Amino acid sequence: MFILIRALAYATLFIGALFLFIPSRILARTGITAPAVFGAAQWIGMAMGAAGLALALGCVLTFVFLGKGTAAPFDPPRRLVVRGPYRFVRNPMYLGAGLLLAGGAVFYRAPWLWAYLGLLWLVVHLLVVFYEEPTLRRLFGQDYDNYTRRVSRWWPRLGGT
């Protein structure tokens, strides 16, 4: 139970800072406000955001219950997680968070949120390639190598796993 509380606290802080607070500051600085009328873009943006949030939350729960840890680098899972959303793609939590932010960009029709998402995506990609993957390879060895051969880093492979 304590792992779940820690994981939800870390996820809330992470998502709150990078995907709510900073985007709200970007919107405020660029003068973009909520649209007066809801149209297709707002409904699509809300659906994207909800799907992204659901995927990210599903990843957090998968880390807790299968990995016996959290997504935070200072409190990592004790077991290699290759089930749940992780059976389709190695980094579904980042994809969910990116979808959440993309939903906000669509909702507000905010080009600066797209720019922020692009910058964030570059930073995350570099983090994954130069920190997370070597760390996981060191911690989980051949099991992680086998996993990387079966499951793509960012996009699910056609035909499944």
pTM: 0.88
The answer to whether residue 160 is domain-embedded is no
Residue 50, in any domain of the structure = yes
Q: What is the pLDDT along the chain (161 residues), one digit of tens a residue?
A: 777 888 788 888 888 888 889 999 999 999 999 999 999 999 999 999 999 999 999 998 898 888 887 777 777 788 999 999 999 999 999 999 999 999 999 999 999 999 999 999 999 999 999 999 999 999 999 999 999 999 999 998 876 54
Percentage helix, strand, coil for the chain under 3-state DSSP, each rounded to 5: 70, 0, 30
In this structure, is residue 157 part of a structural domain? no
Is there a domain that residue 39 lies in?
yes
Yes or no: say if 63 and 70 are a contact pair by the CB < 8 Å rule. yes
Whether 161 is in a domain gets the answer: no
Residue where the block lists tokens 């993957």:
133
What long-range pairs does 29-33 form, CB within 8 A, spacing at least 24?
Answer: 30/110, 30/112, 32/108, 32/109, 32/110, 32/112
Is 33 part of any domain?
yes
Name the residue range of residue 83's domain. Answer: 2-150
Residue 118: inside a domain: yes
What pLDDT, on the 0 to 100 scale, is given for residue 159? 64
- Domains of the chain: total: 1
